[in-house]
Amino acid sequence: MSADAAILTVEPPPSGAAKRSAPFFTYTNLFNAIGWLVLALILWFLVIPAARGGTWAPFSEWSTWRFLLVGPDFGPMDEWATWSTLMFGPADERTFGSGLLYFISLKGIPQLQGLAITLFVGVFAVVLSTIIGFFFALGRLSNFKPLRLFCSGYIELMRALPSYLIIFYVFIGFPKLLGLNLAAPWFAIIGLTLYTSAVMAEIFRAGILGVDKGQLEAAYALGLKPRDTIVSIVLPQAVRRMVPSIVSQLITLTKDTSLASVIALQELTRKGKQLYEFYNNVLEMMFVVAAIYFLICFSLSLASKRLEIKQQ
C-alpha cells in the first residue's frame, strides 16, 4: 500500500455492539418524568372534573371573550371608527396635527384592557429591554472602570429584586420622587424593563464573551475599529448563541405582565379574576386564561426553534 493510500484510508465506524448506548436513567429524564406526572395529576384532578361539571356557559357569549381580549369599554372591533378613535383621538375634536400627536403620544393605548394591553406592555418592554440591555452589556465589558462599575451595580441590583416589587416601587415612587403621573401601562412597562434589561444584559455579555478572542485580535490586527468589530464579527456569531436564552427570557417577560395587576393594570389575568368573581367559576376561567398564555408562549417557542434551524 502506498503512502498516499495509507493517508486516505478511513477507519470503519464501530459496530452496533461496540457503540456505547446512552444511559436510560439521567437527571434530565427524571425531571421530564416528574413534569409529565405533575401535568397528568393536574389534568386528572382539576381539568377533567372542571370540564365535566364546570360552568362553561359564559364562554359561549361574545361579551365574555370581549371582556378578556380588549375590555368592556372598547367599541365594536369590526368597525374602523373604534380603531380610528383609539389611534387618532375623538373624530369631532381631531385635526391632522392633533391626530398625529395623539398617535405619537399613544394616549389611546391605556383604553385597552385584557389581552390587548398585555400584548402592548409585553412588546414595548421587550423592545426597550433589548436595547437597554445591549448597552449595559457593553458597559459592563468596557475598560472604563466607573462605567463598568455602574453597569455591574445596576445589573446585580435589578437581578436581585423581584420584578413584582420593582413594578410596585416604580408605581409608588416615580410620582412622589420624579413627579411622573403616567397611566398604569407605562409604569408596568418601566418596571418590567428595569428588571428584564438587567437579565438581557447578562445574556448579551455571555454571548459576546463566547466569541473566540483570536477573532477579535485578528480584527484589530487588520485595523478594524471596535465598533466595526462588534457589528461585523462579534454580533453575528453571538446572536446565534443567544437566541434560545433571549426567547426564553421573552417568554418569561410575557408571563410577568400578569404581575402588573398589583398596580391595578387591567391586563389578562386581572380581567379573568373579575370574571370568575362574577360567574363563580374559578377553575374554568383561570384554565382559559392559562390556555391563552400557553398559546402565546408556545408560539414564541416554535418561532425560536425555526429561527435556530435557519441559522444552522
How high is the mean pLDDT of the chain? 82
pLDDT in tens, 125-160: 999 999 999 999 989 988 899 999 999 999 999 999
Cell numbers representing residue 123 in the block: 412588546
Q: What is the largest CA-CA distance in the chain?
A: 94
Contacts of 262 (CB under 8 A, 6+ apart): 164, 167, 168, 171
Q: pTM for this structure?
A: 0.78
Confidence of residue 96 (pLDDT cuts 50, 70, 90): low
pLDDT tens readout for residues 159-206: 999 999 999 999 999 889 888 888 888 899 999 999 999 999 999 998
Q: Domains of the chain (ranges plus CATH)?
A: 112-312 (1.10.3720.10)
Q: Distance between CA atoms of 4 and 13, rounded to whole angstroms?
A: 21
Task: Give CA–CA dist 158/173, Å, rounded.
Answer: 16
Residue 277: CB partners within 8 Å, gap ≥ 6? none
